[in-house]
């Protein structure tokens, strides 16, 4: 917290867990009002301010959302964990009582709140056998936190997610306190409603009729892709549920840049990894519909059974979107299941600016959507959505669970549609974020990061050692970095070297990938508070690596 001359802090109570502070505000010099407290976070402390005297304007920044309110004597301003706020005294003088829990610590969140040391010295203390006192456990947990990588910093750009939103924290706390299972309506009445609401709203955003569509929360985007293959099999060969795959050799078609989970699905569901066809892509990284058509025809001629096409909406490296409408035409012609893996790029459906990338998504039989990636829900909050209402029940419901499902509700127990039995309220944190930002706000979330990407592109173009790869359309930015003139021998590995150094110096955490010419940096724009300056700073650090 920055201190200015015209307010005075008096600590009333201080411990590791709590701090109670009295602040007196007085106007200084020419200013008619005392200077404001600058926008500041409290790390993972919650903060409550009681106005004892005067009138204050409070601005809260909740990740992608900003709120301004005026508070008077007797009112309390509350800033949840992970949020930021600023305070301005509107009257000539004021007095506020501040309570923080835990005590504010300078976590140096930007950019240093992750550690990457391999030898953290914790191995011994992590071992399980002897009981540990609560106070010692708390010390150990603090060590765990200090040595863990946190996604809270905007300099965390390594994964397809970043940021820890206060809305998510509030949701997670409530989930912890109730600890119910989503298997049955009776055990989880409200969380079941929440899950239905999120799924209905996602289906509607895709363009599906609420009456014809449905979905289920799954433990990650991979699981949603597994479910797509499973439902496709159910649609075309419903007797296989009881009889097994028997003699069929199914074929699944994805782009060569698609997520590896389709191979896992093929291994697990009994299709075999050899039967996942990786179709070639164009210069933007998009699956070529003509190559797909050729592959299907060839497989049919060879006696195989084409089953499913998956269009990737947002590939992991380049953020490319397969042409869904073109693939839909192919799937229609051959009567195949069309899936859209929108684990990373699904949020494009929320903004007009990117609607062209997901054109035709309403024609898909099913869609994967991950809210723990771009929108910052808890890990994980993933959805399998389909416009074949009823197929989840017919594919997954089995007898033998009368002890659990009592069939006395109007609503179907959601556990019957799932591969899981007991499972947590994974949809809740996304619901809290969506509820807070609103549907339009989710679109603005994407738009703001797109604008940041464009500003960063402009900066990159001024740097001769940097080259943007491909044609960025989404929130991935792949950048080739050439080494300093005296290190040209290391050109192919340079991005990897740069990335390691940024990481070990605790500056920033970005990923790298490799193409024919060698390694390059991959920046992911995902943190709700990511600004151009964070990325420009990271790139400047990258250019300084020797």
Restricting to residues 334-363, name those near a second copy by CB under 8 A: none
The minimum distance between CB 171 and a second copy, in angstroms, equals 8
Q: Is residue 277 within the footprint of a second copy (CB under 8 A)?
A: no
Restricting to residues 16-55, name those near a second copy by CB under 8 A: 16-18, 20, 44, 46, 48, 50
- Reading the block at residue 162, the tokens are 């970043």
Q: Is residue 97 within the footprint of a second copy (CB under 8 A)?
A: yes
Q: Which of 26, 86, 513, 532 binds a second copy (CB under 8 A)?
A: 513
Q: Is residue 419 within the footprint of a second copy (CB under 8 A)?
A: yes
Restricting to residues 433-462, name those near a second copy by CB under 8 A: 434-441
Q: Is residue 516 within the footprint of a second copy (CB under 8 A)?
A: no
Q: Which of 3, 72, 173, 505 binds a second copy (CB under 8 A)?
A: 173
Q: Is residue 130 within the footprint of a second copy (CB under 8 A)?
A: yes
**Pairwise CA distance, residues 150 & 527, whole Å:** 12
Q: Which is nearer to a second copy, 7 or 156 (by Cβ)?
A: 156
Helix (H, G, I), strand (E, B) or coil at 341: strand
* CA dihedral angle for residue 99, residue 103, residue 108, residue 111, rounded to 10 degrees: -70
Stretch of residues binding a second copy (CB under 8 A), selected from 1-9, 383-391, 429-437, 458-466? 429-437
Strand intervals (E) in 15-83 = 19-26, 37-41, 46-53, 56-62, 65-71, 76-79
Q: Which of 108, 267, 451, 471 binds a second copy (CB under 8 A)?
A: 267
Stretch of residues binding a second copy (CB under 8 A), selected from 183-191, 325-333, 483-491, 530-538? 183-191
Instruction: Using CB under 8 A, count the residues that bind a second copy.
Output: 157
Q: Is residue 383 within the footprint of a second copy (CB under 8 A)?
A: no
Furthest C-alpha separation in the chain: 87
Q: Is residue 413 within the footprint of a second copy (CB under 8 A)?
A: no
Q: Is residue 414 within the footprint of a second copy (CB under 8 A)?
A: no
The minimum distance between CB 143 and a second copy, in angstroms, equals 8
**Are the C-beta atoms of residues 203 and 363 closer than 8 Å to each other?**
no
Q: Which of 2, 30, 118, 302 binds a second copy (CB under 8 A)?
A: 118
The minimum distance between CB 483 and a second copy, in angstroms, equals 19
- Angle at which helix 261-268 crosses helix 221-236, to 10 degrees, equals 50
Helix (H, G, I), strand (E, B) or coil at 89: strand
Q: Is residue 399 within the footprint of a second copy (CB under 8 A)?
A: yes
DSSP for 400-430 reads: --TTT----SSSPPGGGGSS-SS---TTHHH
Residue 381 DSSP one-character state:
-
**Are the C-beta atoms of residues 409 and 188 closer than 8 Å to each other?**
no
- 28 CB contacts (<8 Å, ≥6 apart)? 5, 6, 34, 35
Q: Is residue 160 within the footprint of a second copy (CB under 8 A)?
A: yes
Residue given tokens 């050729």 in the structure block: 294
Question: Which strands, in side-by-side order, build the sheet including 65-71?
Answer: 37-41, 84-89, 56-62, 65-71
Q: Which of 87, 198, 374, 545 binds a second copy (CB under 8 A)?
A: 198
Q: Is residue 266 within the footprint of a second copy (CB under 8 A)?
A: yes
- 46 CB contacts (<8 Å, ≥6 apart)? 78, 79, 80, 81, 100, 101
**Pairwise CA distance, residues 280 & 288, whole Å:** 6
Q: Is residue 150 within the footprint of a second copy (CB under 8 A)?
A: yes
The minimum distance between CB 3 and a second copy, in angstroms, equals 22
HSE-CB at 187 with a 13 A cutoff on CA atoms is 17
Q: Which of 34, 87, 155, 188 binds a second copy (CB under 8 A)?
A: 188
Stretch of residues binding a second copy (CB under 8 A), selected from 32-40, 157-165, 327-335, 349-357? 157-165
Restricting to residues 219-258, name those near a second copy by CB under 8 A: 219-223, 226, 230, 240-247, 249-250, 258
């Amino acid at each position: 917290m920055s201190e200015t001359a015209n307010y005075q802090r008096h600590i009333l109570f201080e411990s590791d867990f709590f701090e109670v502070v009295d602040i007196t505000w007085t106007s200084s010099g020419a200013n008619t009002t005392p200077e404001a407290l600058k926008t500041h976070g409290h790390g993972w402390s919650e903060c409550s301010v009681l106005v004892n005297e005067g009138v204050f304007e409070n601005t809260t920044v909740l990740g992608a959302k900003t709120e301004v309110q005026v508070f008077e004597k007797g009112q309390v301003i509350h800033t949840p964990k992970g949020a930021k706020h600023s305070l301005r005294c509107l009257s000539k003088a004021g007095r506020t009582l501040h309570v923080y829990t835990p005590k504010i610590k300078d976590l140096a969140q930007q950019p240093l709140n992750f550690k990457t040391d391999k030898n953290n010295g914790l191995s011994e203390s992590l071992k399980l056998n002897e009981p540990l006192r609560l106070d010692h456990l708390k010390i150990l947990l603090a060590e765990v936190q200090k040595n863990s990588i946190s996604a809270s910093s905007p300099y965390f750009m390594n994964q397809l997610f970043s940021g820890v939103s206060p809305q998510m924290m509030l949701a997670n706390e409530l989930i912890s306190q109730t600890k119910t299972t989503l298997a049955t309506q009776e055990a989880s009445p409200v969380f079941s409603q929440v899950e239905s609401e999120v799924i209905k709203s996602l289906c509607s955003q895709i363009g599906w009729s609420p009456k014809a569509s449905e979905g289920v929360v799954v433990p990650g985007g991979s699981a949603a892709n597994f479910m797509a293959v499973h439902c496709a099999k159910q649609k075309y060969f419903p007797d296989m549920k009881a009889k097994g795959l028997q003699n069929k050799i199914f074929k699944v078609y994805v782009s060569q840049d698609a997520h590896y989970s389709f191979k896992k699905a093929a291994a697990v569901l009994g299709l075999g990894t050899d039967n996942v066809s990786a179709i070639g892509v164009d210069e933007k990284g998009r699956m070529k519909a003509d190559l797909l058509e050729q592959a299907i025809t060839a497989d049919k001629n060879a006696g195989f059974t084409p089953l499913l096409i998956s269009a990737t909406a947002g590939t992991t490296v380049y953020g490319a979107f397969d042409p869904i409408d073109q693939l839909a035409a192919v799937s229609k012609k051959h009567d195949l299941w069309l899936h859209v893996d929108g684990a990373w790029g699904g949020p494009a459906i929320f903004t007009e600016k990117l609607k062209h990338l997901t054109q035709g998504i309403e024609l898909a039989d099913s869609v994967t959507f991950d809210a723990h990636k771009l929108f910052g829900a808890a890990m994980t909050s993933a959805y399998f959505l389909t416009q074949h209402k009823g197929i989840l029940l017919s594919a997954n419901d089995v007898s033998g669970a009368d002890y659990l499902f009592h069939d006395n509700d109007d609503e179907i127990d959601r556990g019957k549609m799932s591969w899981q039995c007991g499972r947590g309220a994974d949809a809740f944190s996304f619901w809290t974020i969506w509820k807070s930002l609103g549907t339009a706000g989710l679109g603005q979330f994407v738009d703001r990061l797109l604008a940041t990407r464009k500003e960063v592109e402009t900066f990159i173009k001024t740097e001769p050692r940097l080259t943007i790869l491909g044609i960025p359309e989404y929130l991935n930015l792949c950048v080739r970095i050439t080494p300093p003139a005296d290190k040209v021998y290391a050109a192919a590995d340079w991005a990897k070297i740069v990335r390691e150094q940024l990481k070990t110096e605790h500056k920033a955490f970005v990923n790298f990938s490799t193409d024919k010419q060698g390694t390059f940096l991959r920046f992911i724009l995902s943190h709700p508070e990511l600004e151009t300056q964070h990325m420009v700073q990271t790139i400047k650090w990258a250019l300084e690596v020797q």
